[in-house]
Amino acid sequence: MFESMSQAPALDRSAKNGFRCAVYPDPGKVLAKSFLRIDSLGVPGLGEIENFAKQKPVPDSVFQVYKEQFSYDKTDLKARVESKKEAPEWTLEKISFDAAYGGERVIARLFLPRNAAPPFQTVIYLGGDVPVFQRSSQDIENYCEVSMFFSFLVKNGRAVLYPVYKGFFERGNDALIPVIEGDWSSHQWTEVLIQQVKDLKRSIDYLETRPDIDSRKLVYEGMSYGSALGPIIAAVEDRLKVNVFLAGGFGLMGQGRPEVNQINYISRVKKPTLMLNGRYDTFFPPETSSKPMFDLLRTPAELKQQKFYDTDHIPPVNEMIKKTLAWLDKYLGPVKR
């Protein structure tokens, strides 16, 4: 939370806050606005978040046009297993295959469990935006998000695929940082988003070629940035059967252009979806961001669940593990041993 804003109600006395003492020697010199609640994303320059609950999605005829922009010709993947690493809990493969655009190659890291029998249920992960600033995924197993957000899935017996999306790690560059981290209403961002979604779809194409993967039981897990993109990915990729959105919601870096605006996709998501959020998240405030996303899911009420915790952006790890494993067991069945 070093770079994030955080706030709780002034009289909140929960265990996470402890206590606060302050003495103001000269109260007249303290600006009144210092004590006001901050109703923003906590991102400089973006101001207050839109109230997505009041917005209307485009009609189905227009949405079909938007959905088509994520389509591509399914050419030969020219896939290669570049390397393998063995660890007590998993086998880690570095995969590469042709992207759906620009003659590029997609890199992906495939974590295969060693305590379960194939074909494996598989989770495709898209996490936070920290990789936008990093230039190598070489030691991905030591990256903080692996231990926090999906190593437990592999230890439980499920495979996890972590594609290196356009703009991430070695597929990024300094020119792409302001595009991804800037105003999402730009044409440049729209192009990058489409490429990232194609990377995920192309990754599923690859998984379908593997006899050790059960391509009928594929899960999308999005965290923060990845959760914000979740409605778009879940609406345009029918091969995903279950969604897990962690620390996500509408907004983040402003609204996208209509063809990539979350509001035009969320009502097309009908799959079982689990959302876990922090009650004091300033990136995705519950009232205007994360709760409206959950409410606007077209998923039947009995197939979706949202839980709030007394945290900021990231839900408690132990709760996240417990809820996610229970959700996958419920909708995909337990793993094979």
> Within a domain: residue 2?
no
pLDDT at site 330: 98
pLDDT at site 240: 98
> Within a domain: residue 8?
no
> Within a domain: residue 121?
yes
Q: How far apart are CA 202 and CA 210, in angstroms?
A: 13
pLDDT at site 196: 98
> Within a domain: residue 244?
yes
Q: Determine how β-strand 90-98 pairs with β-strand 159-164.
A: unpaired
Closest CA to 74 of 257, 243, 239: 239
Q: How far is CA 235 from the centre of its chain?
A: 14
> Within a domain: residue 315?
yes
Closest CA to 120 of 240, 201, 210: 210
Residue 262's identity, in one-letter code, is: Q
Query: Under 8 Å CB-to-CB from 54, ≥6 apart: which residues?
Result: none
Measured CA angle at 255 (ends 311, 129), to 5 deg: 55
Question: What ranges in 47-176 are assigned the alpha helix state H?
Answer: 60-68, 144-145, 151-155
Q: Determine how β-strand 240-246 pairs with β-strand 80-86.
A: unpaired
Q: How many domains does the chain have?
A: 1
pLDDT at site 95: 98
* Residue 152, domain extent: 27-332
> Within a domain: residue 9?
no
CATH of the domain at 65: 3.40.50.1820
List average pLDDT for each run of 10 residues in the chain, which is 337 residues long: 66 71 89 74 48 85 98 98 97 98 98 97 97 96 96 98 98 96 92 98 98 98 96 98 96 82 95 95 89 96 96 93 98 95
DSSP 8-state assignment for residue 337: -
Residue entry with tokens 């007590």 = 88
For the entire predicted model, the pTM comes to: 0.91
> Within a domain: residue 12?
no
